[in-house]
Amino acid sequence: MGIVVSVSRASIDLSPDQLRRDPPTVVEPADFDRFWQAALADAAATPVLVDVRPEPTDLRLVDVWDVTFAGFAGEPVRAWYTRPAGVPAPLATVVEYAGYGRGRGLPGERLTWPVAGYAHLLVDNRGQAGLYASGDTPDPHAAPGGPTIATRGILTPEDYHYRRLITDAVRAVDAARALPGVDPTRVVAVGNSQGGGLALAVAGLVGGLAALLVTAPFLCDIQRAIELTDASPYGEIGRYLAVHREAEEAVRRTLSYVEGVTFARRATAPAHFGIGLRDTVCPPSGGLAAYDQYGVSAGGADRPARELHTYPFNGHEGGEAVHVRRQLRWLGAVLRSPVGAVSAG
């Protein structure tokens, strides 16, 4: 089992102890696996790498490439591929997914992983750039639903924005494994908030991941979260339903196909979780449920190792630099690299 650090009662949600005694019931659609197998098979019909070109920067310690890969429906998705400068050997590679309303930004905005010695693929969010960071990937699909990211196409699972975004996230792992200088057996999925929800989905859909690192994950126990918090992004769904009252059944059905707890059950990679217990954006009960259910489909001795750190007095920001240090030490130990010479904690 995992390690639970600094657990106390959550200020805005059920405590971890309460959740262990009475875990949430997350119901899976009967065709959940068929739904995602079909979506990914369609995407896989297109060769994954479209373009890889060096990106000139003023950074001396890293090399950067501008990557375009084929995501949902073969549509182009952009990413930054960054490596320690002058290191030709195949490296363990972190595929990182950005938070809600963020794009990939500018090269060099996120350097923790490459300066720690990893190759790093930072994936753009289709159709989300401009709220917090710039991006270069459009989402050319329109369907009935609301005007915000979380409600685009929300009336059917086939049209929902997150079907496309999760498909892109899976294809990003395929792209990373095809890039020069990547050890395809040591690819890691990483994300915070929306990025954490995408990383969890990838862990449930992609085989052979070396590890998963998730903090404050979005899209976990969604049915409860939309009732618990008015903060965006969940609040956007609640506000949509406040106007479109007759759409609740359809919306809840759609959300069941992108549920992080359901993906977590199917995961097989070792996992590291971080959750702030005062998080009003992504209620902690969702992330704790995903941790509790992580890897249960494997069962018994085959269930993957997992570790949890909670932060009783922190919200959506979680453990920040303290947690990143824990991530680096844990991942280094999992990959048996020099980064993990110091034990986690």
Is 134 one of the catalytic residues? Answer: no
The domain limits of the chain are 4-341
The pLDDT score that the predictor gives to residue 4 is: 47
The second-level CATH assignment, the architecture, of 4-341 is: 3-Layer(aba) Sandwich (3.40)
Per-residue pLDDT of the chain (345 residues), as tens digits, is: 454 444 444 456 777 777 667 777 889 999 999 999 999 999 999 999 999 999 999 999 999 999 999 999 999 999 999 999 999 999 999 999 999 999 999 998 999 999 999 999 999 999 998 777 889 999 999 899 999 999 999 999 999 999 999 999 999 999 999 999 999 999 999 999 999 999 999 999 999 999 999 999 999 999 999 999 999 999 999 999 999 999 999 999 999 999 999 999 999 999 999 999 999 999 999 999 999 999 999 888 899 999 999 999 999 999 999 999 999 999 999 998 444 333 333
Q: Which of 279, 285, 309, 323 is catalytic?
A: 279
3-state secondary structure 122-165: EECCCCCCCCCCCCCCCCCCCCCCCCCHHHCCCCCCCCCHHHHH
Is 279 one of the catalytic residues? Answer: yes
- Pairing type for strands 62-70 and 76-84 reads antiparallel
Is 337 one of the catalytic residues? Answer: no
The pLDDT score that the predictor gives to residue 300 is: 86
The pLDDT score that the predictor gives to residue 255 is: 98
CA angle 315, 3, 260 (to 5 degrees): 55
Cα distance between residue 337 and residue 345, in whole Å = 17
Instruction: Put residue 276 in one of left, alpha, beta given phi > 0 → left and psi -120 to 50 → alpha.
Output: beta
Cα distance between residue 215 and residue 273, in whole Å = 6
Cα distance between residue 182 and residue 173, in whole Å = 11
Element (H, E) at 47: none
Q: Which of 193, 272, 309, 323 is catalytic?
A: 193
Cα distance between residue 241 and residue 226, in whole Å = 10
* Sequence-separated (6 or more) residues with CB below 8 Å from residue 32: 256, 257, 262
pTM over 0.75: yes
The pLDDT score that the predictor gives to residue 24 is: 74
